[in-house]
């Protein structure tokens, strides 16, 4: 009997944001879930402390899971709901009265800090499926964490709350997990993965058909610049 299995997730929410170059004042989003974002969800469910001595080892185990993300349609009475992108304007600081300013840090010169302007991007009405393949025992432990998560779970950013339970189930193989995902998403039984846009792990043999994304997490508690490594992916368009 094979020790391999496949975990299926359904990522459905009014807002999602999957950053992979999101630093400083411009916080963009990919058009599909990043592996870093998915692993972050699992780490939060399992209660992995990013300051713990075993964090890097546990994140490595999660990152080693083979990941496929699938763009799923979202339907209403009138047909499919299109996925849109929202650009949201933020300000940080400014607008405080004198008492509030006394509590804020000041620049080296002693002057009050200026307002910071920030632009953040979100996906609206997006729905994705995720298939994670790996050792059955490890996937069952992850599934138990998702059923009773240690910390809050969100779809990329803290304001992006899931609209449905994330966990679909653990299948005996990829085909079984895909069948469960179709059922959970309310889609017709027997539809093929090739009918949907999806992103799979790439490999060196694919050459120019694959691309690189800096979203393979190493340790979320590491210093900036040391938290992620490049990952080869391949985007497959629906047939």
Q: Are strands 211-217 and 228-236 parallel, antiparallel or unpaired?
A: antiparallel
Q: Domain spans of the chain?
A: 4-87+124-236
The whole-angstrom separation of Cα 122 and Cα 101 is 31
Render each residue's pLDDT in the chain as its tens digit; 239 residues: 469 999 999 999 999 999 877 666 777 898 999 999 999 999 999 999 999 999 999 999 999 999 999 999 988 777 888 899 998 887 777 655 555 555 555 555 555 567 778 888 999 999 999 999 999 999 999 999 999 999 999 999 999 999 999 999 999 999 999 999 999 999 999 999 999 999 999 875 565 567 888 889 998 888 877 888 889 999 999 98
Q: Rounded to whole angstroms, how far apart are CA atoms 75 and 78?
A: 8
What pTM was computed for the model?
Answer: 0.86
Mark residue 109 as left, alpha or beta (left: phi above 0; alpha: psi -120 to 50; beta: remaining): alpha
> Rounded distance, CA 34 to CA 13, Å?
16
Q: What SS3 state is found at 178?
A: helix
CA distance 76 to 80: 6
CA–CA separation, 16 and 156 (whole Å): 6
Report the 10 Å Cβ neighbour count for 234: 14
- Residue from 166, 160, 164 nearest 142 by CA: 166
Phi/psi zone of residue 186: left (φ > 0), alpha (ψ -120 to 50 degrees), beta? left
CA neighbours within 13 Å on the CB side: how many for 69? 22
Tell me the chain's radius of gyration from C-alpha atoms: 20
The highest-level CATH class for domain 4-87+124-236 is: alpha beta
Residue 224, SS3? coil
């Amino acid at each position: 009997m094979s020790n391999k299995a496949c975990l299926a997730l359904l990522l459905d929410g009014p807002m999602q944001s999957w950053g992979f170059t999101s630093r400083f004042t411009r916080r963009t989003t990919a058009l599909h879930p990043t592996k870093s974002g998915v692993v972050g969800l699992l780490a939060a469910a399992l209660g992995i402390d990013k300051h713990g001595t075993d964090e890097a080892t546990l994140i490595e185990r999660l990152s080693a899971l083979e990941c496929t993300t699938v763009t799923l349609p979202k339907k209403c009475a009138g047909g499919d709901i299109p996925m849109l992108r929202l650009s949201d304007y933020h300000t940080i600081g400014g607008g405080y009265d004198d008492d509030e300013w006394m509590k804020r840090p000041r620049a080296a010169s002693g002057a009050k800090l200026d307002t910071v302007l920030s632009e953040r991007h979100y996906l609206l009405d997006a729905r994705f499926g995720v298939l994670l393949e790996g050792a059955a025992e490890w996937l069952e432990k992850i599934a138990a964490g998702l059923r009773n998560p240690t910390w809050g779970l969100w779809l990329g950013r803290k304001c992006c709350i899931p609209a449905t339970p994330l966990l679909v189930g653990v299948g005996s193989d990829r085909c079984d997990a895909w069948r469960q995902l179709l059922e959970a998403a309310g889609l017709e039984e027997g539809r093929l993965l090739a009918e949907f846009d999806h992103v799979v792990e790439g490999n060196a043999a694919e050459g120019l058909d694959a691309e690189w994304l800096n979203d393979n997490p190493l340790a979320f508690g590491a210093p900036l610049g040391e938290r992620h490594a490049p990952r080869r992916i391949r985007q497959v368009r629906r047939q």
